[in-house]
Amino acid sequence: MASAILVPVDGSEQSFDALEYAIAEFGEATITVLTVLDPAEVGAGTEIAMTVNADEWMATAEKRAEGHFERARELAGADVDLRTETEIGRPARTIVDVVEEGGFDHLVMGSHGREGVSRILLGSVAETVVRRSPVPVTVVR
């Protein structure tokens, strides 16, 4: 059985569903909740990008991540060995890097359930991670 589980959380209900699944299925393991801060979320040339400096963006992103971690701690309760980690980068690549470097046995993540043209145009973090992950991945929908 897996002893170190990584669960990326982006604030979506699907990501918290994945965390609940990981807790239910791997409750005896150490569960690390990862939030990736993506600087690309404020696209270059947009009005937002022109008015937000890097320090303001970072402060806002870290505050949002801490909110994700608070909710994760509430879901986990006191009996789960829950750890938190924040990284900066593109989500799919960063998740795979953390798995490769962190000694994880399994990855559990949510899917936004995009299909068809939307998935082709927007890409899918979950799909990319599944293709590149060196460990088994469970995608919770």
Q: Above pLDDT 90, what percent of the chain?
A: 72
Q: Starting at the edge strand that comes first in sequence, how are the strands of the sheet with 137-140 ordered?
A: 81-88, 30-37, 4-8, 106-110, 137-140
User: Which residue do the tokens 């404020």 mark?
Assistant: 42
pLDDT at 121 over 50: no
Could you tell me the CA-to-CA distances from 99 to 22, 37, 57, 75 in Å, in that order? 16, 16, 26, 22
Q: Above pLDDT 70, what percent of the chain?
A: 84
Q: Can you list the domains of the chain with their CATH numbers? A: 4-140 (3.40.50.620)
SS3 78: coil
Residue 122 binned pLDDT confidence (cut-offs 50, 70, 90): very low
Supply 3's token pair. 């002893």
| pLDDT, tens only, 61-76 | 999 999 999 999 999 9
| pLDDT, tens only, 2-54 | 899 999 999 999 999 999 999 999 989 999 999 999 988 765 444 555 556 88
Q: Which of 86-95, 103-112, 116-125 has the lowest mean pLDDT?
A: 116-125
Report which of 86, 133, 68 is spatially closest to residue 107, judged by C-alpha positions.
133
Average pLDDT, the chain: 87
Question: DSSP character for 40?
Answer: G
